[in-house]
Amino acid sequence: MNEIDGIGIKEGNRASRLVTMLARYRYAVATVDQAAISLFNLALTFCLVRLLDAPAFGFVSLWMTVAVLVIDVQVPLVGLPLNVHVPGAADKAARVRLEEAVTTVNFGLVIAAVAAIVAVSLFWDGDWVPRGWLIGTAVPLFIGVGLRREYCRSLAYSRGDMAMLLLTDVPYLVITSACLLAMLLWPRHLAGIASAFLAMSFGGIASQLCLSIGAQLRRFALGRKGWAAAYGGIFGEVGWAMTGVVSTHLQVRSYVYLTTYLVGLAGVAALNAVGILFRPIMTFLTAWSRSALPQLAAAFAEGRVAAIDRALLYGTAGAAAGSVGWCTTVWLMWGPIETHLFGHKYPDAELLLLPWAIVSCSVAIEQIPATMLQAARDFRFLAYVSLTCAPITAAATVVAILWRGYTWTMYGAALGQVVGLAIVVCRLYQVRQRLRARFAVAIARPADLTPGRPASDASAAQ
């Protein structure tokens, strides 16, 4: 199997200087890249809101949520090992073995996800099931290609290779945007559920082709001997991380599944149409966390508490200020949004603004300490948090829907988010105190073990 090993350039030429510049400004590049994807997702979603009726848009929203779930599963299985365990490997050979093992896991996950969706299409019944050969092909293709593209993005972040990141995302944005424009120009012939999924699939395929053309490819056998042992060494932490990610997904997005069951696809459409307005908040936080996670992991490993505190302070301040600013902007622009983007298709949409703002702000702020705990490899505790909050969120969501209707759905989701935020903040404080104490002892220990020398003199020498 061919895997990307680095951008194929010659030292000293313009491409080399460009790659160096991109690496120097990797945080800015990552932020701009995520912002471009966010703007694209907004454009795509609003286009679908305008072109599709509520049940059709609800169908697309539901399967996009399923795609997010599958990608969330891939994060602990593939993304976290690449961004946490690979940078901390003992030597280059260990890093290569672990990268190959992670690649094998990614390939297996793609096959399993596609097979599961095909099985659902063949053996399940309901208005949410992909029917017909075109939609039945477009949905699993969209999810499989999306998993592969996210793998390449994780690999780029792990290596700090912003050129590879741009080769992954720019073709996707260009090709999919061209398909979106065609849908807008010829809606009668091109607009539809299958067209939306195929557009995103074509973009992901284009990015894979560009990576193959523009990168040096390292050849290795899929499932090379020893990959299971390499991956098995981290599987304990990966398992807890996956438990946490899946339960977190259910905590954050259970409203989609519950609303589909209790209300129908039209209710899901209204919730997601308003929810997309607040998605840029998490987009910027995702860009920060993916770029900062390898550096934070190194800081925890080396006991640099001051650097951790600075990242926590700046990250929390930025998340809070950005969330409040964006929510205020959405509130002030609601009139034009309702008229020109929603086309007055969702009469209850204004009632969803406040609960969505509460949920978005709490999720954004929780992202900062949660990323810190990921860097500290406290995956088990994060799993416990989400396992605790997910049923609270689901129960509160059901009660809110049955009591006041689907417009109160997000108030139930907000309750679970606030509880989770409080628990994570308390845990991070404990982890920080233990880290400070452990490295203080490690610094003092050489003085205590120096024969014939007073500890005070040794400490002064340090």
Average pLDDT over residues 136-152: 91
pLDDT of residue 450: 43
Domain boundaries, the chain: 1-233, 243-441
Chain centroid to CA 319: 16
pLDDT of 216 > 90? The answer is: no
The pLDDT tens digits for 367-378 are 899 999 988 888
Contacts of 374 (CB under 8 A, 6+ apart): 80, 84, 241, 293, 382
Average pLDDT over residues 48-55: 76
Segment among 37-41, 341-345, 360-364, 446-450 with least mean pLDDT: 446-450
Average pLDDT over residues 282-304: 80
Segment among 216-220, 233-237, 272-276, 297-301 with least mean pLDDT: 216-220
pLDDT of 453 > 80? The answer is: no
pTM above 0.75, yes or no: no
Average pLDDT over residues 239-249: 79
With H, G, I as helix, E, B as strand and everything else as coil, classify residue 129.
coil
Cα(372)–Cα(297) distance, rounded to whole angstroms?
A: 8
Label residue 11 by pLDDT band (50, 70, 90): very low
Cα(130)–Cα(59) distance, rounded to whole angstroms?
A: 9
Label residue 390 by pLDDT band (50, 70, 90): confident
Structural element, H or E, at residue 218: strand 215-219
pLDDT of residue 10: 43
pLDDT of 458 > 70? The answer is: no
pLDDT of residue 95: 75
Chain centroid to CA 350: 27
pLDDT of 56 > 60? The answer is: yes
Residue percentage of the chain with pLDDT more than 90: 21
